[in-house]
A and B are shown apart, each in its own frame.
Chain A
Amino acid sequence: MSTNPRPLLTSRQVAERRTRSPHTSMFARMLIRAAMLRRGRAASALLAMIVAAAVATAMLNLYVDVQAKLRTEFRNYGANIVIVAKDNQPLPTDAITKIESVLGAKTLAVPFSYAVARTKDGQSVVVVGTDFTRARQLNPWWKVSRWPDGPHQVLVGMRAAAVVNPAANANGRENHAGPSREPFEISFQGKEIELTPAGMLQTGAGEDSRIYLDQSEFQDWTGIAPTTIEVAATGTAGELESDMRQLAEVLPSAEVRPVRQIMEGEANVLNKTRATLYASATLVVLTSALCVLATLIGWVFDRRRDFAIMKALGASERLVNGFFAAEAAALGIVGATLGFLIGVGVAVWIGRVNFHAPVVPRFSVFPYVLAGGIAVALIAAILPIEMLRRVQPAIILRGE
């Protein structure tokens, strides 16, 4: 131990100061002085603990949150549940409200109704009535040159454009800028309507050969109510299954079907990602735990002299063990708490950088990080103490 830094104080002054100072137990004083006197080593052990806890927290937070984030990302693929009217009966008019009340407001439900109309020169073309605002949210992959914003404005599929207005859209396929905005006439069961193309729709699938019109205008013209509702619901496979059961209950006249292509693709990619993340997180957490273990064992082992002096002064084995355990626990608690806060910060940062959405801090992770930190610290303290216990204090003090 170092020499007394204040040798000028007389023994009476020291005694006086000690009686006036607040009474702290010897045990607590030893703990605090041990940390203060060897600031360098204690700080490096604490630093290792903080970093390891931070890395572990960030990984656990990400592991929990990334799945939710990726699920939202997967909803860009569009609907995963389709509700179809049975036997050509229209769906109830309040179907959308019912769906939203079952699944919550964050679900997207888009109605579609179909009719086959005829152009002036007798060609058949499918006209679809829908809600443009919702369809736009549901299908972000639709490439649309301009969305309709006025009465009787329609979206014309890329292939349909050539049919409704052959002259102007002769090279329709190459004309990515948009179709001619010249109005065209179209009839359904003798009822004619004049529609203005607002923009061109390009998807590479069936939508390309259709014309999209606003639902209410479509219904005024054809009298056909929506027969299909496409729903984009977010959740795990189990949640989606119960969602579908509930939908089938509130809409007995309709058939509720999963879009297997979307659901299975998502499950596949998500499972693989989760497994990879899990493996990586385990590796990272293990590595950082090992790092803490190595540092702490070095730290405790280094203090074998303190250990020997305590024993030489007659401290019981229980007291010595308790002292080192308390020290390790304190280090674990402080390190894990600070590390947790930093780790949450890192997770939020990763969420912002990678997913452009904040990761919600999971405080439920904290008990695990805390328990892990204390456990690692205790193991790191007990291992060297067990080794030293068998050694005579005299040998350690002689420096052998």
Chain B
Amino acid sequence: MFPRIVYESFRRQARRKLLAGIAITLGVAVATAMIAVATDIGDKINRELRSYGANLVVTPQEDTLDVEVGGVNLKPPSDGTFLNEADLPKIRGTFWHNNIVGFSPTLPVAVKLNDGGGNKDVMLVGTYFNKALKFGKEDFTTGVRITHPWWKVSCGEVDKAAPKEGEKSGTTCGWPADDSEAVLLGDRLATKLSKRPGSTIDLNGRQFAVSGILSTGGPEDDQIVAPLAVAQEILGKPGAVRRVYVSALTKPPDALSARDPKTMTPEVYDRWYCSPYVESIAYQLQEAIPHSHAEQIRQVAQNEGTVLSRIKGLMLLVTLAALFASALAVSAAMATAIYERRVEVGLMKALGAGSFAVSAIFFAEALLLALAGGVAGFSAGALLAHQIGRSIFNSQISIEPVLFPIIIAIAVFVTFAGSAAAIRRAVKFDPVFALRGEG
């Protein structure tokens, strides 16, 4: 009898059931999408924060003092010690290698630039632009295009203003290849020299092609940026690297991260080592590259924690609001659906059904609705989260499979909670009034 009543209820009142089902589906979809976005937002924003550039720098252990004012190095950088370029791919072998978004080595060299009217001291910085490297079986690319996303290469304004005769048009401008001998000219330096892509410059008596004009808003605007191999050749030290900038996804600092690893007990040390704190990643970089010292760039590293926790906290609160709103929508729909069926309850009670039997029918119906709405809502919510991830972050928002039973459980719970008060009222209602139509 019981299954038949429930079955007939669904068959005969298909439209009403559909309305309640839609409300549950919508509520669950919003809840699923918001939970998925909120759990993933930390990772997504962390990646966006990488647009601030590297948060770690690796230097030789016995590094000499920089004497640099306004982007001009006043000391020959040829002395002092260097890191070995061959060690760099080992960065990919550290414990948190999946968190390392990219790295770029730099090697500054002072060069004499001959602009026709005599020699001029200019800094040339050698680096990777988008270099293909290999660590073990893994192929990857890295360079300033990943670690310094605000660096822009253009054809320069000179190009449009005064195209000179006999020179190539601006079609060749762009990032130079890492194995080429082409260089990028900082935009203020380019304006001073009135050079444009396609022309050549004379450095230490050698000719280099200018492949583009670099604008960074930093000291590089007065410098020349070249492939690392070019800088090593000018300096006469193959394989030399002065600094490595590493851009890594890190965990915001907490009480554990600030502690000195030397004073930790082995268990605490393991926990510290296996957490992606900026300090532990620095420690691991130091282990990977011989004779090196890794340091966090505090301007970038210290602030991302606060920004990240603010945005995460905000999304958590918004998610709570969304959960609250969808729970309310589901309860409201269920309460209305049950309230409309007082006459039915009256009839059942008049025929001798007890409160328990009547409630059981309603709860069984609510359970079926919650399950169907939960499954449909979960799929719709997953789709919604996917869309949000694609349109905002250009990447997938992954939905943990473990979320599915949780969402279904929440849907059932909310549907029951929303129905409970209405069911209680319906059951307590005097069947005589209900049947006389005096609701």
Residues of A within 8 A of B (CB): 44, 48, 51-52, 55, 58-59, 62, 66, 69-70, 73-74, 76-78, 84, 114, 116, 123-126, 139-143, 159-160, 162-163, 173, 202-206, 209, 227-228, 257-265, 268-269, 272-273, 275-277, 279-281, 283-284, 286-288, 290-291, 294-295, 297-298, 301-302, 350, 353-355, 398-399
Contact A265 B34 (CB under 8 A): no
Report which of A124, A142, A291 forms a contact with B329, defined as CB distance below 8 A.
A291
B361 proximal to A (CB < 8 A): no
> Who on chain B is nearest to A70 by CB?
B310
A288 to B296, CA, bound (A): 45
For A124, list chain B residues within 8 Å (CB): 65, 67, 74-75
Taking the nearest CB of chain B, how far is it from the CB of A220, in angstroms? 20
For A286, list chain B residues within 8 Å (CB): 30
For A139, list chain B residues within 8 Å (CB): 299
B199 proximal to A (CB < 8 A): no
A273 to B326, CA, bound (A): 22
> Who on chain A is nearest to B435 by CB?
A399
> Who on chain A is nearest to B313 by CB?
A354
Residues of B within 8 A of A (CB): 19, 23, 26-27, 30, 33-34, 37, 41, 44-45, 48-49, 51-53, 56-57, 63, 65-70, 74-75, 148-150, 152, 215-218, 293, 295-303, 306-307, 310-311, 313-315, 317-319, 321-322, 324-326, 328-329, 332-333, 335-336, 339-340, 343, 384, 388, 391-393, 437, 439
Report which of B23, B26, B393 forms a contact with A272, defined as CB distance below 8 A.
B393
A265 to B340, CA, bound (A): 56
Taking the nearest CB of chain A, how far is it from the CB of B23, in angstroms? 6
Knowing A209-B67, A259-B218, A290-B23, say if A277 contacts B314 (CB, 8 Å). Answer: yes
Contact A55 B307 (CB under 8 A): no
> Who on chain A is nearest to B394 by CB?
A272
Knowing A141-B302, A277-B314, A290-B329, say if A261 contacts B53 (CB, 8 Å). Answer: yes
Contact B37 A258 (CB under 8 A): no
A74 to B66, CA, bound (A): 29
For B317, list chain A residues within 8 Å (CB): 350, 353-354
The 7 residue pairs across chains A and B that have the minimum distance between CB atoms: A260-B217, A399-B437, A298-B336, A291-B329, A265-B52, A141-B302, A141-B298
Could you tell me the dominant secondary structure of chain B's interface residues? helix
A18 to B292, CA, bound (A): 96
Contact A125 B67 (CB under 8 A): yes
Contact A264 B318 (CB under 8 A): no
For B300, list chain A residues within 8 Å (CB): 77
Knowing A59-B318, A257-B217, A295-B336, say if A51 contacts B328 (CB, 8 Å). Answer: yes
> Could you write out 21 A-B pairs with CB less than 8 Å apart?
A51-B328, A55-B321, A77-B300, A116-B69, A159-B65, A203-B299, A259-B218, A260-B150, A261-B52, A269-B49, A276-B37, A284-B318, A287-B30, A287-B326, A291-B325, A291-B333, A294-B19, A294-B333, A294-B336, A295-B336, A298-B335
Contact A77 B52 (CB under 8 A): yes
Contact A287 B322 (CB under 8 A): yes
A123 to B79, CA, bound (A): 13
> Who on chain A is nearest to B311 by CB?
A273
Report which of B51, B303, B319, B324 forms a contact with A76, defined as CB distance below 8 A.
B303
Contact A291 B332 (CB under 8 A): yes
Taking the nearest CB of chain A, how far is it from the CB of B293, in angstroms? 7
Report which of A62, A163, A302, A353 forms a contact with B65, defined as CB distance below 8 A.
A163
A361 to B68, CA, bound (A): 48
For B307, list chain A residues within 8 Å (CB): 70, 73-74, 269
Contact B150 A159 (CB under 8 A): no
> Who on chain B is nearest to A176 by CB?
B260
